[in-house]
Structure formats: C-alpha cells, structure tokens
Structure 1
Amino acid sequence: MTAVAPDSGRAPVLVIGEALVDILVRADGTRSARPGGSPANAAVGLARLGHRIRLATRVGDDLAGRDIRAHLRDSGVELTEGSVVPGPTSTATAHLDAGGAATYDFDIAWEAPEVPAGPFHVHTGSLATALAPGADRVLKSVEAARRAGTVSYDPNIRPLLLGTPAEERPRVERFVALSDVVKASHEDLAWLYPRQDVDSIARAWLESGPSLVVVTLGPDGALARWRDGGCELPAAAVRVTDTVGAGDAFTSGLLSGLLDGGLLGAAPDAGTPRVRLGGRAAADVLASALVGAIGAAALTCMREGADPPTRAALERWRRGG
C-alpha cells in the first residue's frame, strides 16, 4: 500500500516498540504471515495518515526482518539507527476463531535501541514497555521525551508474557502517569483491575497525569475521559474479517486527529496544561479525532491482518463512501 505524502506542517512522531511477524492461523487451519507488532502497526497507521514517522524497534537481519523493513518503508516509516540487529525476527501467532477474534502466542526478544532526542510526539506501549531488558530503556526514553514533547501510551496487555496483575500494575501506572494521552482496551483494564469499573479506572488514571484517557470497548465502541468532560462513542457497523491490528489502527486514528489539530507535539510552557482540551476548538478537534479512531479501527476490521487505512480511505469512510 502506498503511503500518503507526509505533511511537513505536522509535528514529527517517534514510535518506540516492537516490530514482528504476525502469523495468522484461521479457524479452518489455514495460515498466512504478515508484518505486525502493536507499536509498528501504530507507526504504519500514522504514516499512512500522512505523518512523519520514525520507529525505534528491533528487527532481525533474516528474511522475515527484510520483509518487515520493506513493509515499513513502503508505508513511509523510517527506522532509527540501531533498529536492525543480527539474529531472528520476533513472531506473534494469532489464532482466529470463527468470528475473527484473535488470541496470541509469542516468540519475542526485545532490546530497545538508543532513541534520538528532539521536540516531537512519542508513542509507545505493548511488549516494549513490559519485557526486559528493553522496557527499562523505553521508560528512560519516555521520561526524557516528556521534557521536549508529548507522550502517548497503549499498554496492550499480553498476559502470557507477563507476571501477575499485581506485579504489572505499578509499571503500567508509571507509564500512564508519564503520558499525555493513554489508550487502553477494556480487556487490558479487566486484567489489570479485576472486577473494577472501566469508568472509575479511566478517571483514576486521569488523576495521575494524562490529559486524555480513551478505552476501547470492542463491539460497544469506546469511552473517552478528560479533565472536565467525557463521552461514549458507538462502534461502526462493519462486516468483520478479523480484529488483528484494530486497536492499533484506533490508536493511530486518534493520535492523527490530535496531531492534525495541534494538540500534540512540542512540550507546553511551564505551568500550562500539557494538552489543552478545554474550549470549543479543542473539543471539536477531540471529537473529530475520536470519530477518526473509530473509522480507522472499523476499516482495519474489514481486512485480513493489521492493514490500517490511508488518509484518503479514512476520509471516504467519514463521508460515507
């Protein structure tokens, strides 16, 4: 898929996290493989929506790694120095049920490369913020990035690779507190905080630092909360092929809208809100970003694997085309 030409007027984005091969095992037993990894998917989604994207990741120098690099390059994503390393590329095997919902097995190694400094928006999450030894370097990178720009985070919990919820909560909450925008799924919250209400968790996270928390609710849409407001959005009615990459497409659609509206990028002046969500203009930007997120996820669900839309495709969807 050809990427949209980047718009130099938008803030540049650095994505930190894993790129791997998604192996799809369908309910009928057939298999296929394609590039994936939650942060890499979000990077591709943002690039296809016209943003300048650099990805700090770990990709092997094997055939699978070459395929991933070609996929990223074709979508307009640039790898940072040190992202290609000797050895095999990580894999995630997605087992699809009859309805297209996925469960995962992983064979992954994660060592974060050095990341460039600069005034830009940084997005991270998923296994990159959870797996040693790379997770500690990602945390330090996020702490440094906050001083120069804004940060978003998607925990994208993978229980098979983690400890207990009690062990993981402090790490997740540290990244939440460092972030300006947090996107999570209701499955993430159900695992981290068993039997707790999604809305109360989102509001508690807001109190710790972010300006915006958005929770995807699967077929029930999404819930968004910010300091002085909130809303719920229904999901788009589409014929689902599979759900692989839908959450990452939602993230890229959300961040794209916030970047387009100038709400993310350079660090704010001391004493001012990090993301100014008050006022009519910001409310309009946020509403448009949330609709774009729903649309990006819906279009991805209609395709096999993590295949987020271009800006042109998303605009057609907005117009009902």
Structure 2
Amino acid sequence: MSFLVIGECVADIVRAPAGSPVADRVHPGGSPANVAYGLGRLGRDVTLLTQLADDPTGRLIEAHLTGAGVRVEVGDVPERTPSAVVALDARGQASYTFDIAWTLKSGAPAGLAPRHVHIGSIAAVTSPGASAVLAETERLRERATVSYDPNVRPALMGEHGPAVTRVERCVALSDLVKASDEDLAWLYPGEDPRAVAARWLALGPAVVLVTLGAAGSIAVTRRHTVAAEAPPVTVVDTVGAGDSFMSAVLDALAGRERDALAALGAEDLARLLGTAGAAAAVTVSRAGARPPDRAELDAAHGAFALRPGRGW
C-alpha cells in the first residue's frame, strides 16, 4: 500500500510561554509533512511531494523525513524554507505566525502510482501552488482514494467566503475528511460540528472525522455517528496532534477502497477513533510533532483501551 502526501514543509520555531526557563526550539513541521512523517514512522510506503529550499532548515526537515523512511520529492525550490513561529500558552495550546509562500508547479514524478493521496492545510488552498495540488489530486483519484485535512490557518486563508469555497472544493474531491472543531468554528461560526460533518458528506466523502481536543472526537458517515473520549494525558504541547491523528487513521484504513470506506460500521469507527486518539495522546505528551512508531502506538492504544469508561 503506497501513499502520496502533497503539501508544505514548515520549520516550526516553538517559543515557550513568557517567563519559562525553556529555550525556543526548532522542529520540522508543516501539516502534510507531519502526516507523511507519521506514516513513515508506522512503516508505511510514503512519498511527500513538497517544496524545500537548500538552506539549513530545509536540510534539517529533509533529513528528519528521510530518517523515518519518507521519500521526499521536491517539486519546487523556494528562496527559503517556510517557517512558523509557534507560541505556546500555559496549557500547551499553540498559536502561529507564518512566513510561508506556496508556489508548487509540478505534479508527482512519472511512474508514481499511489493507492492513496493525502492533501491539506496551506498547500491545498494557497495560490499559486494550490492549483497544482488540486490538478494532481483530480488526476490521481481515478485510481486512488483521497483524504483531506483543512488544518485552517486563519492568517493565511484570505477572505472568508472564498476560503470556504476553496475548502469545500477539496472536501468534494475527498473520500475521507478530518477537521478540528477549531477549523469548523472558523469556517462556519456558530454551527454544530455534527451538522457541518453531515453537510460535508453530501459533497462526496464517505467519512468525516472531527477532533474536539480534550473532548475527544467524532466520526460521521451516512449510516453512523460515533463519538470517542480523549485519552487522559498530561499535555506538553499540542503541536502535530491532529496530524498524528490523521496518520493513524490512514494507517488503520490502508488498502480500503471507496466502497469499503462507505461500509464502515459503528464498531469499525469506534476502533478507528480509539487508535487515532491514542496516537494523538502520545504526540501531545512530548514536545514537537513527534508521532508514535508502531510499537509506541500499539502500547498506547492497549493502555488506553484498558481504562474503564473510555468507550473504546
């Protein structure tokens, strides 16, 4: 089972809360890159189509990805590798300030035939590179399933109405969509996440997942709505938690065709949320976007599954 992830790499410069004795840290990041890294950590055959500069942070990110087994295809070389200053509050919640441009021009290398394509975040909605992302996704979806995570960054989304239109176009291309409650609150202020998930299903996906932070997550299909609690964990920071959740979802569903995704039952969805929630819990328990490997995920899911009242 081969995966192609298309999207940005970002150097996350993580700043500790004011007054903290901890120094700033630089971590490889970018939501699509994190998803690719998470899949690589789980032993999956994964290629990341991205853009990276030949600078210190670009080399750091490439080494980070290839160290997990990710093949990195650089479709465009910018003047500098994108960066984001990540500020953490006292609870470990992250906010971002970006220095990013997305100008991808080329598609996947000739001969690459992934069974699944994942897109998301800045690269899927930011011009001019988003056009190449969507064109490649449309071409490949004839023989591959597609997933999408909007991972909304309001500072980079532009005007609200056109931004929603761009997101919904990506939703319509996808078989599986994952969004956070914060994403949905920005896209559709005041609307219930379950109502948004149901509306997105009408655009085309078979499954919509919504993460709710400490409140857990939900999975919505045309036949079922399933909720799961979040595992109890001490949060160091939340950087990459949603991406770890996404990687674990894609790993758990690897090889399922569109019909099989549509046929997922309530027990399947509960197991899926449990596994993905365990992956996110591992990530928030340590600094940076560091998803679990296979052994860590198996151990974490087993531990959380044994807790009474977890509903998994």
Q: TM-score, normalised by structure 1?
A: 0.89
Instruction: Indicate yes or no: 2:261 matched with 1:275.
Output: yes
Aligned ranges 1:51-62 → 2 under 5 Å: 51-62=44-55
Q: Is the 1:16–1:122 Cα contact (8 Å) retained in structure 2?
A: yes
Instruction: Indicate yes or no: 2:131 matched with 1:136.
Output: yes
Instruction: Indicate yes or no: 2:173 matched with 1:183.
Output: no
Partner of 2:309: none
Pick the aligned partner of 1:162 from 157, 164, 170: 157
Q: Which amino acid aligns with 2:261?
A: V
Partner of 1:288: 271
Shift of 1:176: 0.4
CA deviations over 1:230-266 (Å, ceiling 9, x no partner): 101100100000000001001111111111xx325xx
Instruction: Indicate yes or no: 2:297 matched with 1:314.
Output: yes
Partner of 2:62: 69
Structure 1 stretches of 4+ with a deviation exceeding 6 A read none
Q: Secondary structure at the match of 2:91?
A: coil
Pick the aligned partner of 1:48 from 41, 55, 58: 41
Q: Which amino acid aligns with 1:77?
A: V
- The alpha-carbon distance between structure 1 residues 119 and 88, as it changes in their structure 2 partners (threshold 3 A), is closer
Instruction: Indicate yes or no: 2:198 matched with 1:234.
Output: no
Q: Secondary structure at the match of 1:287?
A: helix
Q: Which amino acid aligns with 2:244?
A: A
| Alpha-carbon distance between aligned partners in 2 of 1:97 and 1:276, rounded to the nearest angstrom | 39
Shift of 1:87: 2.5
Partner of 1:3: none
Shift of 1:39: 0.3
Count of residues paired in the alignment: 298
Partner of 2:30: 37
Instruction: Indicate yes or no: 2:244 matched with 1:249.
Output: yes
Shift of 1:111: 1.9
Q: Is the 2:3–2:114 Cα contact (8 Å) retained in structure 1?
A: no
**5+ unaligned residues in a row in structure 1: which ranges?**
1-10
| Alpha-carbon distance between aligned partners in 1 of 2:268 and 2:224, rounded to the nearest angstrom | 14
Q: Is the 2:118–2:146 Cα contact (8 Å) retained in structure 1?
A: yes
Partner of 1:103: 95
Q: Is the 1:126–1:156 Cα contact (8 Å) retained in structure 2?
A: yes
Q: Is the 2:224–2:266 Cα contact (8 Å) retained in structure 1?
A: no
| Alpha-carbon distance between aligned partners in 1 of 2:247 and 2:78, rounded to the nearest angstrom | 30
Instruction: Indicate yes or no: 2:84 matched with 1:92.
Output: yes
Q: Is the 1:222–1:234 Cα contact (8 Å) retained in structure 2?
A: yes
| Alpha-carbon distance between aligned partners in 1 of 2:301 and 2:163, rounded to the nearest angstrom | 38
Q: TM-score, normalised by structure 2?
A: 0.92
| Alpha-carbon distance between aligned partners in 1 of 2:262 and 2:184, rounded to the nearest angstrom | 26
Instruction: Indicate yes or no: 2:280 matched with 1:297.
Output: yes
Pick the aligned partner of 1:14 from 4, 12, 15: 4
Comparing 114-123 with 170-179, which one deviates more in the overlay? 114-123
Partner of 2:204: 209
Shift of 1:44: 0.5
Q: Is the 2:221–2:262 Cα contact (8 Å) retained in structure 1?
A: no
CA deviations over 1:90-134 (Å, ceiling 9, x no partner): 101100001100000000121224213524100010000121110
| Alpha-carbon distance between aligned partners in 2 of 1:101 and 1:283, rounded to the nearest angstrom | 31
Q: Which amino acid aligns with 1:298?
A: A
Q: Is the 2:278–2:300 Cα contact (8 Å) retained in structure 1?
A: yes
**5+ unaligned residues in a row in structure 2: which ranges?**
305-312
Q: How well do the aligned residues superpose, as a CA RMSD in angstroms? A: 1.6
Q: Which amino acid aligns with 1:220?
A: A
Shift of 1:284: 4.6
Q: Is the 2:12–2:84 Cα contact (8 Å) retained in structure 1?
A: yes
Q: Which amino acid aligns with 1:107?
A: D
Q: Secondary structure at the match of 2:190?
A: coil
Q: Secondary structure at the match of 1:199?
A: helix
Q: Secondary structure at the match of 1:194?
A: coil
Instruction: Indicate yes or no: 2:9 matched with 1:23.
Output: no
| Identity score, percent | 47
Shift of 1:183: 0.1
| Alpha-carbon distance between aligned partners in 2 of 1:220 and 1:69, rounded to the nearest angstrom | 34
Q: Which amino acid aligns with 1:65?
A: G
